[in-house]
Chains A and B, each alone.
Chain A
């Protein structure tokens, strides 16, 4: 028997030796009771959510190729993509501005930092979210035409999603750094890494990312803050083809990938994006299909609500800081990498990654608790992505805004931490809490 409510009634059942499991019920988030009742009463909801989450977990992402953004996205010359919900230069945070400046310099749209800033501030450059272009970008997530992208396709539903190539850690564009060493690395990625990977994937054939990510979870990755196993697995898949395709550059390319534990993150993000996109636009569904931050706002999109964004102020992450950096240096939350949590990875799969438990409070039990609590706000358990320590239970997947409002439990988000000042780069990594109003305003929109 299940009891929910007065403890006394559960006690009375136990006194009669009836087996009664009690729900640890709490009132829903303030001000959501009416919207909840309306959304829950929607006769389409249950079937819509089953359909949507079935599409999300049924997606079979594979790496189809590596190509230039100019070829894949056909961006107009005066447009950059960025992470998170829409943002203007005026509202953009330090790292977002830094990355945009860097992209201006990289593409040769501006001769120097000052000119780049002026052009951006004048509004001559169009800024659009990656999410609107079947793309995702980590941290600032700035995509400009010369960047090479992973092209990930869904063998089940036929969708496609893109994500840039990972530059490594420290002073990198996605964390808002744009110094000479940053631009030099980006140019090498444009001239060498991109073309070599493109040729290697063509030679090696498509890489089954669903299978690779399922393996990586069993090897201690959660595929957001830890990608060491997945990067190694990808390297193993591609290394022979890299040598075959470009013997002269092979050692540089392989060394670059092997030197960056997060190289796979961007492929995981594209895989997550193509899976969550498969769940979009199911009328009546309260499933979250995107969570993303631009360094100022945290936004969500919901299957039954088209491409509307529902936002709240991005929180400042807390966690471990590099070198002499501390909490005061941290920028508010930034990046599209929360697409991993949206698809049941990252913080939701924390129990798979005991090696990085210090990000979530230090104890393995905290990692287990983080994943367990996410089963409370999700619609399904992933059939392929499993967690050995939880008896191979599938990861919690498919955030339902009604369950967030009912439980008050917000998605657990693992994240890198960008420096507040433009040009700083990464200062740490840790955890962040999304703003509840992003979810409650989506709920209100579903109710109306």
Chain B
């Protein structure tokens, strides 16, 4: 067993690429392959690696195992396989500004939050709508972007906009949904995913899902994107009903949004999440507005499970990847310790927990045996191609009871049923909500 640590100055790869390249390196039992952010340096230090000085712009590689040299070689092979080779290779654009010289209709920004402003502004200045998947963008920058976007008449989705579906194409974390009459405007990514997946289960499809970012309805931002998205859906002939999903906004923003909604020809179902309104009830509300029946939502249980899970005295632990799902579960449970691993604090310099299960797997190892663990597993484009593969062994190893809110559709690449069965076989209960 040996350690090898090296820092490649100024070498950049995005966190997902690094996670993939660093997973399952033959000869390495422990591998940290990540940009040298404080969080990642801390992680490597906790694993007992001795680290040289490094900047967030440097690539950190720390390997431990029987054949670290072989592992390093394989890592290099994987990372270089991604880069175009040769001077002949067409040079890709280096900024959104440069890319926008070719015809385009939308820009999807997912660079680290402190750098997202420049790329998003390029899009707005080029007159292109933009979805900012990145989180950790300063509120002041968001306001400025949205002001400029209003001048240019373009939509800014986000920052921290995890999902959108436009004309059937899913952006970010997006489920494969049937086409249909419901247009969604959402200040919550996982909230929109849950509602649209439930609608899909009920046989109702969507026209578009427009995310606006969790902060859009705050007093500071003033609901600028929400207002624009509502008007855009109103102008869309395929949209017959608009569902607006958000946490309760500030009173003056709520007034603005109500005013905009009042001017639309398309009916609007507003789901302000909080006591009394959860994602399931919001979906049921939308179904009733369309005159559609509300189905019985499915769930899968291991043979030995009986429920109820939350018997008095048992510790409740929420281990979530979706902020809204986490908040909703915490609200319904009314007690326990709930952590949203999709929060900014956990995603600096590493991939979102819907892609990178590491932090949640660690959390699962730490829960006491008598606890009940509530977690979400979100399927769809952009998410882990097989979340059950990593989670099932951890669930099987955990003595705690695990209940999973499985968000997805049968059309999703991971297969909702297949994932549910794999998780159930490992001993978890999978159901429509936490």
Chain A contact residues, CB within 8 Å of chain B = 1-10, 12-13, 15-16, 18, 20-28, 30, 33, 36-37, 40-41, 46, 363, 365-366, 369, 372-373, 375-376, 402-403, 406-409
Contact = CB atoms under 8 A, between A and B. Distances in A.
Contacts, number: 147
25 contacts: A2-B100, A2-B123, A4-B96, A4-B108, A4-B110, A5-B109, A5-B110, A8-B14, A8-B351, A9-B110, A9-B172, A16-B170, A25-B95, A25-B111, A25-B115, A26-B94, A27-B12, A30-B57, A37-B114, A37-B117, A41-B121, A369-B87, A372-B91, A403-B97, A408-B10
Given A24-B94, A25-B94, A25-B119, A2 B128 contact: yes
A26 B57 CA distance: 9
Given A4-B96, A4-B99, A4-B107, A369 B91 contact: yes
B133 interface: yes
B381 A16 contact: yes
Contact of A9 (B87, B95, B123, B382): B382
A1 B110 contact: no
B105 A1 contact: yes
Given A8-B16, A21-B102, A23-B98, 5 more contacts: A5-B110, A12-B174, A26-B12, A40-B117, A407-B94
B98 A375 contact: yes
Given A9-B133, A365-B87, A1 B108 contact: yes
Contacts of B12: 26-27
Nearest to B107: A2
A30 B128 contact: no
Interface residues of B, number: 56
A14 B91 CA distance: 19
A251 B382 CA distance: 74
Given A15-B381, A406-B118, A23 B95 contact: yes
Nearest to A22: B92
Nearest to B140: A41
B91 A373 contact: yes
Nearest to B383: A12
Given A7-B17, A9-B171, A18-B169, A1 B88 contact: no
B141 A37 contact: yes
B98 A30 contact: no
B93 A24 contact: yes
Nearest to B97: A403
A133 to B, nearest CB: 35
A5 B128 CA distance: 17
B55 interface: yes
B22 to A, nearest CB: 14
Contact of B111 (A5, A13, A16): A5
B119 A16 contact: no
A8 B93 CA distance: 18
Contacts of A25: 94-95, 111, 115, 119
Given A15-B381, A37-B141, A366-B87, A1 B118 contact: no
B88 A409 contact: no
A175 to B, nearest CB: 32
Contacts of A46: 125
Contacts of A22: 92
Contact of B133 (A2, A5, A18, A408): A5
A33 B57 CA distance: 12
Contacts of B55: 30
Contacts of A21: 92-93, 99, 102, 104
Nearest to A405: B118
Interface string B119-130: 101010100100
A372 B92 CA distance: 10
Interface in B275-324: none
A9 to B, nearest CB: 5
B5 interface: no
B185 interface: no
Given A13-B169, A37-B118, A369-B87, A6 B57 contact: no
A199 B87 CA distance: 49
B225 interface: no
A83 B144 CA distance: 42
A9 B108 contact: yes
Given A9-B172, A406-B95, A407-B95, A2 B115 contact: no
B83 to A, nearest CB: 9
Nearest to A36: B118
Nearest to B11: A26
Residue among B91, B95, B355 having the largest count of chain A Cβ atoms under 10 Å: B95
Contacts of B4: none
B80 interface: no
B95 A376 contact: yes
B409 interface: no
| Residue of B82, B91, B98, B107 contacting most chain A CB atoms (<10 Å) | B98
Nearest to B92: A24
Q: Which of B104, B105, B110, B172 has the most CB of A within 10 A?
A: B110
Contacts of A375: 98
B213 to A, nearest CB: 16
Contacts of A403: 95, 97
Contact of B57 (A4, A8, A27, A376): A27
B250 to A, nearest CB: 24
Contacts of A9: 108, 110, 133, 171-172, 382
Contacts of A12: 170, 174, 381-382
A149 to B, nearest CB: 39
Nearest to B100: A2
Nearest to A21: B99
B115 A28 contact: yes
B382 A8 contact: yes
A372 B97 CA distance: 15
A393 B97 CA distance: 18
Residue of B94, B119, B174 contacting most chain A CB atoms (<10 Å): B94
Contacts of B108: 1-5, 9-10, 13, 20
A25 B14 CA distance: 9
Contacts of A8: 14, 16-17, 351, 355, 382
10 closest cross-chain pairs (CB), A and B:
A5-B110, A12-B381, A24-B92, A5-B111, A365-B87, A8-B16, A6-B110, A407-B94, A376-B94, A2-B107
Contact of B110 (A3, A373, A409): A3
B413 interface: yes
Contacts of A26: 12, 94
A4 B104 contact: no
B106 interface: yes
B109 A4 contact: yes
Contact of B14 (A1, A7, A36, A376): A7
Given A1-B105, A25-B94, A376-B93, A33 B115 contact: yes
Of the candidates B88, B100, B171, B174, the one having the most CB atoms from chain A within 10 angstroms of its own CB is: B171
A2 B99 contact: yes
Given A23-B99, A33-B115, A365-B88, A6 B351 contact: yes
B112 interface: yes
B125 to A, nearest CB: 6
A121 to B, nearest CB: 41
